[in-house]
């Protein structure tokens, strides 16, 4: 595009199984990542096309579309200092590519030529796409969302359909300026499965994760009810050779509960910055997120910090860069493995699967940092899923009083090399009935 244009475009897609991106991350208007995309005003206009509520083959009959829209917008309004101004319109088609937009932020599912152009060859894997227009100051001027009319959506968990509310909640995050997250259970994680994966309904992404909340607060600040919001954690990581440790995932866990709070990736200079954290005590970890050398490095605990509202805490470190000979690539449930979080309930036990490279039940240990979640001793079992993947399973016990949210488990070798599956178990309100047994409250 010409450098004289004052309006730029960002394309965002929600797809199936590809490499993940950073834990909560924001979109930028410039290559130097100095201008974060966001709306200038806290009142954000959004128009919903009547194509969403008129009878059509893309939405399952009797779906609660208006209720899902209200709940999705309310989730983001409760999270940050923003409000939505909602309109309904007979407009069906988003603004054409290459123009500055028509000024209407439209959500549509109509099967018009312009809408279909957004999907192309990805029509069978993409649930929705969001296109953003913004100016040179980094202010969003328009954001259009198209739900894929090649697919079907529902609100009742019907197998084979995408959950409308979960998809919309994810796309509204993009509309507000958020990019994808590598916290597996976060709403803004790029992977969204259809209803039926793990033989469960895909309701998890309806509920914002702590990582999502931190991300949106980083852009717009906390709402008026957030007395402890917000503080910042920042620092710089160096490899054992003294070079910048770039592309490392740095994340914070609540020290008391072990729940994942937020995280980011280090930049080319090894610098990271986690904003939007509630005041509190956190444990901080760093993990290689794809080494350019082809080696895989063990996770390292950076330390513990007390985050205070309105202040920036600094935590920098030179890493040991210890290598490991295994990788965690997939998690699973009901004998299925994927890149989707497994939803669980407090007071129950479940058999969880983990897949990857060089995983052997006799050579690794699995555990949780959370005092609320434990692994049943001697429950690790090997499974055969083919020559290209090794899979083990284990039984996990979730205490009845476990706070809702995302939790990580770690895989550790006999040599103490460790990798975390960050936020891969999400403790939910909605019921996962495939439990091993019920647990009693702890003493």
Write down the number of H helices and E strands in the chain: 4, 28
Higher-confidence residue: 303 or 23?
303
Q: Are 196 and 160 in contact (CB under 8 A)?
A: yes
Confidence of residue 190 (pLDDT cuts 50, 70, 90): confident
Q: What is the DSSP secondary-structure string of 230-272?
A: EEEEEEEEE-TTSSB--SEEEEEEETTT-BEEEEEE--TTSEE
pLDDT of residue 415: 85
Domains of the chain: 8-214 (3.40.390.10), 227-323 (2.60.40.10), 326-427 (2.60.40.10)
What residue ranges in 289-404 does DSSP mark as E strands?
296-297, 300-307, 312-314, 317-318, 323-324, 327-333, 336-338, 342-344, 348-357, 364-368, 373-375, 381-384, 390-398
Confidence of residue 16 (pLDDT cuts 50, 70, 90): very low
pTM of the model: 0.90
Distance CA 7, CA 159 (A): 41
What is the tens place of the pLDDT at every residue in 269-292? 999 999 999 999 999 999 987 655
What is the tens place of the pLDDT at every residue in 33-49? 667 889 999 999 999 99
Q: Are 92 and 110 in contact (CB under 8 A)?
A: yes
Distance CA 282, CA 260 (A): 9
pLDDT of residue 9: 42
pLDDT of residue 173: 96
34 DSSP assignment: -
């Amino acid at each position: 595009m010409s450098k004289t244009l004052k309006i730029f475009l960002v394309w965002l897609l929600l797809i199936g199984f590809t490499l993940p991106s950073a834990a909560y991350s924001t979109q930028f208007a410039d290559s130097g990542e100095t201008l974060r995309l966001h709306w200038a005003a806290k009142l954000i206009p959004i128009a919903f096309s009547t194509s969403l509520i008129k009878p059509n083959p893309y939405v399952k009959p009797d779906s609660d579309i208006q209720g899902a829209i209200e709940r999705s917008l309310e989730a983001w309004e409760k999270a940050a200092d923003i409000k939505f101004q909602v309109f309904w319109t007979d407009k069906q088609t988003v603004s054409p590519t290459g123009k500055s937009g028509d000024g209407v932020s439209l959500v549509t599912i109509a099967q018009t030529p312009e809408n279909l152009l957004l999907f192309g060859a990805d029509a069978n894997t993409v649930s929705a796409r969001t296109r953003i227009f913004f100016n040179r100051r980094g202010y969003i001027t328009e954001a259009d969302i198209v739900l894929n009319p090649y697919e079907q959506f529902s609100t009742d968990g019907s197998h084979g359909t995408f959950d409308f509310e979960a998809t919309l909640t994810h796309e509204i995050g993009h509309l507000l300026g958020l990019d994808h997250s590598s916290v597996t259970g976060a709403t803004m994680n790029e992977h969204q499965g259809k209803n039926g994966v793990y033989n469960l309904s895909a309701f998890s992404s309806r509920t914002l994760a702590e990582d999502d909340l931190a991300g949106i607060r980083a852009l717009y600040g906390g709402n008026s009810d957030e007395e402890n919001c917000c503080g910042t954690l920042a620092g710089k990581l160096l490899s054992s050779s003294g070079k910048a440790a770039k592309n490392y995932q740095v994340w914070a866990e609540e020290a008391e509960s072990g729940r994942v709070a937020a995280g980011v990736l280090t930049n080319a200079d090894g610098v990271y910055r986690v904003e939007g954290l509630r005041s509190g005590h956190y444990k901080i970890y760093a993990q290689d997120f794809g080494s350019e050398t082809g080696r895989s490095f063990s996770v390292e605990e950076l330390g513990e910090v007390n985050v205070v509202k309105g202040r920036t805490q600094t935590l920098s470190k030179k890493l040991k860069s210890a290598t490991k000979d295994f990788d965690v690539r997939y998690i699973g449930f009901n004998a299925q493995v994927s890149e989707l979080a497994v939803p669980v309930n407090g007071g129950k036990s479940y058999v969880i699967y983990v897949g990857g490279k060089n995983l052997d039940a006799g050579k690794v240990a699995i555990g949780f940092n959370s005092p609320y979640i434990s692994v049943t001793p001697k429950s690790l079992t090997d499974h055969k899923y083919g020559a290209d993947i090794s899979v083990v399973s284990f039984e996990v016990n979730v205490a009845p009083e476990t706070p809702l949210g995302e939790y990580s488990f770690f895989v550790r070798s006999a040599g103490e090399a460790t990798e975390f599956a960050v936020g891969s178990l999400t403790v939910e309100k909605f019921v996962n009935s495939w439990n091993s047994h019920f647990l009693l409250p702890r003493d």
